[in-house]
Structure 1
Amino acid sequence: MYDEKAVAGAMAIHTDTYGTDPTTVSYAPGRIEVLGNHTDYNEGTTFSCAINMGHCFCISASDKPGVRLTAGDIGVTAEFDPANAEPLEKKFQWANYVKGVIYFLRSHGVEVDGIDCTFLGSIPMGAGLSSSAALEVATAYAVLKYAGKQIDKIEIAKIGQKAEHDFAGCSCGLLDQFSSIYGVHHCLIHSDFRTLETYPVKLPDDAVFLMINPHAKHALAESPYNARRRSCEKAAAELNALVGYNVSALRDITFEDFEALQGKIDPEAAQRASHVVGEIHRVEEGVKLLAEGRLEAFGQFLYDSHEASRIAFENSCVELDIVVEAAREAGALGARLSGGGWGGSAVALVHAADAEMICGKIIETCQAKGLEPTAETIIPSAGAIIVK
């Protein structure tokens, strides 16, 4: 299952722009993060799912050297040398996600040149739904298909991550790329970012998510994301000196030991780490709750997660707090910010039969508080594919 409208739109724009139909077409979905906020780069575990919105990427051969890349939504074309390791100037920041993927595929023996490319997506930019990771994954899938090459899916995720690090300036983990690649219809994806293993966890048939976007724009590369990551690394290093086992990342400290020792490390680092350690604990307990069919208890974990984001990690914002409180008042089973934070969207877990009613109440409450949110029903969806 993929967004047929986005694919048809991208293919039409490509044909109009370059005068020829694309020979290779890929699609990769965005994601919602359900539990496990900022756990990926701490080698922890996460619940996420691919969503029914994503990016399409088209390629055709060109008689000119280099790569021409058209952003279908804004009708702007960037040109670059695929062998050049330097990011493009800031006005073409959107193209750096693609350039980075194409550049780092070269180290895997995948070299392309003389190609025309177009991408178009249905993911609202700045909504916290990983439009950048979807674009990276769609790029990799299309380039690999065009070049007649294959590499391991984990390596595709790492290439997307490296592109984000080195070309876009954001020290992200692997959650977003994993979600886009490994999505399964109506399942959450449990990802372990130490072993890099994933497995699907079935959701009850009557469970759906609402994605509420209050339109508080965010860009992780411009947020305190990188500073939070450094705080987590500091906490792990200081905790390592206090216990009789190795703590190379926050994944390693037990929930009980952290509770006992957090007062003995740097206060700011302890505050940030409390969120991450709590999130890893909630994910693992959440696996058990879903296996037992305890959806209401699982939903409460989402509320707990958001409160920790708000207080301990300070990666929420006023708009997201309003949405989450509105969801609670409307009777949602759970709600929290989804993704890196500092803007973006919130997700709410609801019974399908209640979705329309709860969504209406959330929108009404938010509007009364000065917001103009939009909402979508999120269908946990399959991962990236080659369309053509």
Structure 2
Amino acid sequence: MAGTPISTHSDLESVYGEGAAAVRDRYVALSKAHHARFGTKPEIFARAPGRVNLIGEHIDYEGYGVLPMAIHLDTIVGVSRGGADLTITNVEAHKYGDLTFSADPDQTVDVGKHNWGNYFLAAYKGVFETAAAKGLPRPDISGLNVTIQGTVPTGSGLSSSAAIVCAASVALMHVYGFDFTKEASLGEVSEFTARAERYVGVTSGGMDQAISMLGARGIAKLVEFDPVRAHDVPLPAGATFVICNSLAVSNKAESATGRYNLRVVECRLAAAVLAALLGERREAARAVRTLKQLEPVVAARYSGPKGSTAGAPLAAVHELLHPGTYSAAEVEEILDAPLASLFEGDASAALVLAAFRDFKLHDRAAHVYSEAARVPAFRDVCLGHGSADEKIAALGKLMDDSQASCRDLYECSCKELDQVVALAKANGAIGSRLTGAGWGGCTVSLVKDEDVDAFLRVLTEEYVRPLIAEGRLTEETLSDNIFASKPSSGAALLKLDL
């Protein structure tokens, strides 16, 4: 298969650069824990990073590009062959108990039981399904012994789930000899890992997996879909991003029905209703799956002065979709079909439709179209002319506008995130916004290099240390919950003698 192979390294420095010394103890601890549990060292290590999305929230599953960067926090997986089952352990055994699954790749993932091992199992199924779809012969399947250790905080919006799925997938491809490549991962591995994560009940758009696989030190990425592709976006000199965990936890798999998956359903309904109101035949309108699919129809009707102020898509939303909620009956009348018929075979959507009968179509569509426009604007600022200070100011404004849209139109913020953003803006952040799915998790703030230390001190003392006093955080984990970051490298295999 053409392309550059997924990178395999014999040293930590080539993956982590100057941060190699700081992570070595983690690899040693994982190797020792694996040996103590299974009587042998891992034959291969794999790692994949978390990510922070700089701009473009909740639009990847609508087909629009996003602009994330990989961060230095990551998940490490150590694997050796042995036994008859999949035995999965964690270095933090006191927190994550051992789990055992069958080695059958065709088994189902029990989404009714939300446990951390489901993410490894999802990767396992995804690797074998993708190999089968490519016509690769199924190898002899033996048991695997797996040890995992991660520093990406769970429920933080930094994509701990994608980090474990991607790291596990890379390790499994190596163990079973599947010849996928890094270049192919752009269109294959990042896509199948996004599909794989849906086994745990989350409708993933693909951004998290793409940047976890394809991150590069010093470079953010504009990730686009259908097909998946990534473009380098160099950030302006003097710009640093500070990530702060609000410690409000929103586990996507556990809260998906009333939050993440509800928004996916609302966007699908908004697209179908908007298509019908634009004059598409009802059958054709019901077949529209994303708001992006409507762009040619919208552009034809809203060209010229009518769409020149806010853009044609937003003009259509404001004119054709009424504010407030649409009842299920109202949507069904417009589309001339029961809602369930739009989501046949989609178990996640079925849960949403069983729980909710009112949907905010105007606000969700307005967010998607406005946020989608901010992504290329962010890229253009980075690639354009002007001083570094001018670029940083323009990027900060885009981030602030994104936060307002996420909070007011998509309603995926929360009081803790709003508190951190307000604190950040009052203490030197050029721009600040939630990042990730929202409803908890982290903020990302754009800060000038020379202000980073003072900024970190203020947020640590005024927001993070009170969480330590409450027992919700420890001094040992503080640096994983508030930190400055430049873009970091993506997924890699490591053969290490530890």
Taking the aligned partners of 2:37 and 2:407, their CA distance within structure 1 comes to: 45
Higher strand share: 1
Taking the aligned partners of 2:70 and 2:109, their CA distance within structure 1 comes to: 28
Higher Cα Rg: structure 1 or 2? 2
What secondary structure does 1:209 align onto? strand
Answer yes or no: is 1:137 the counterpart of 2:192: no
Answer yes or no: is 1:76 the counterpart of 2:97: yes
Q: Which residue of 1 aligns with 2:317?
A: 262
Aligned length, in residue pairs:
385
Q: CA offsets per residue over residues 276-331 of structure 1, 9 Å max, x none?
A: 11111000111111112412111111111111111000000000001111111111
Taking the aligned partners of 2:246 and 2:44, their CA distance within structure 1 comes to: 36
What secondary structure does 2:247 align onto? strand
Taking the aligned partners of 2:60 and 2:24, their CA distance within structure 1 comes to: 31
- Once the 2 structures are TM-superposed, how far is the Cα of residue 90 of structure 1 from its aligned partner? 5.6
Taking the aligned partners of 2:231 and 2:56, their CA distance within structure 1 comes to: 15
Letter in 2 for 1:262: V
Query: Identity of paired residues, percent?
Result: 29
Letter in 1 for 2:321: I
Query: Is the 2:191–2:210 Cα contact (8 Å) retained in structure 1?
Result: no
Q: Which residue of 1 aligns with 2:290?
A: 249
* CA 177–367 in structure 1, closer or farther in 2 if over 3 Å, else same: closer
Q: CA offsets per residue over residues 239-295 of structure 1, 9 Å max, x none?
A: 223448996522243662232222322531110111111111000111111112412
CA RMSD of aligned residues (A): 2.2
What secondary structure does 1:54 align onto? strand
Q: Which residue of 2 aligns with 1:159?
A: 192
Taking the aligned partners of 2:193 and 2:165, their CA distance within structure 1 comes to: 5
Query: Is the 1:6–1:121 Cα contact (8 Å) retained in structure 2?
Result: no
* CA 5–316 in structure 1, closer or farther in 2 if over 3 Å, else same: farther
Alignment of 1:112-261 (within 5 A): 112-151=141-180, 152-153=184-185, 154-166=187-199, 168-221=200-253, 222-223=255-256, 224-243=259-278, 248-252=289-293, 253=295, 256-261=311-316
Q: CA offsets per residue over residues 140-173 of structure 1, 9 Å max, x none?
A: 111111122222313222222222212x111111
* Residue of 62, 77, 92 corresponding to 1:57: 77
Letter in 2 for 1:149: F
Taking the aligned partners of 2:274 and 2:486, their CA distance within structure 1 comes to: 40
Query: Is the 2:430–2:446 Cα contact (8 Å) retained in structure 1?
Result: yes
Taking the aligned partners of 2:292 and 2:430, their CA distance within structure 1 comes to: 27
Taking the aligned partners of 1:211 and 1:142, their CA distance within structure 2 comes to: 28
Unaligned 5+ runs, structure 1: none
Alignment of 1:1-388 (within 5 A): 1-2=15-16, 3-62=23-82, 64-74=83-93, 76-83=97-104, 84-88=106-110, 93-107=115-129, 108=131, 109=136, 111=139, 112-151=141-180, 152-153=184-185, 154-166=187-199, 168-221=200-253, 222-223=255-256, 224-243=259-278, 248-252=289-293, 253=295, 256-263=311-318, 264-265=320-321, 267=323, 268-292=360-384, 293=388, 294-366=391-463, 374-388=481-495
Unaligned 5+ runs, structure 2: 1-14, 17-22, 300-309, 324-359, 474-480
* CA 187–81 in structure 1, closer or farther in 2 if over 3 Å, else same: same
Query: Is the 1:55–1:123 Cα contact (8 Å) retained in structure 2?
Result: yes
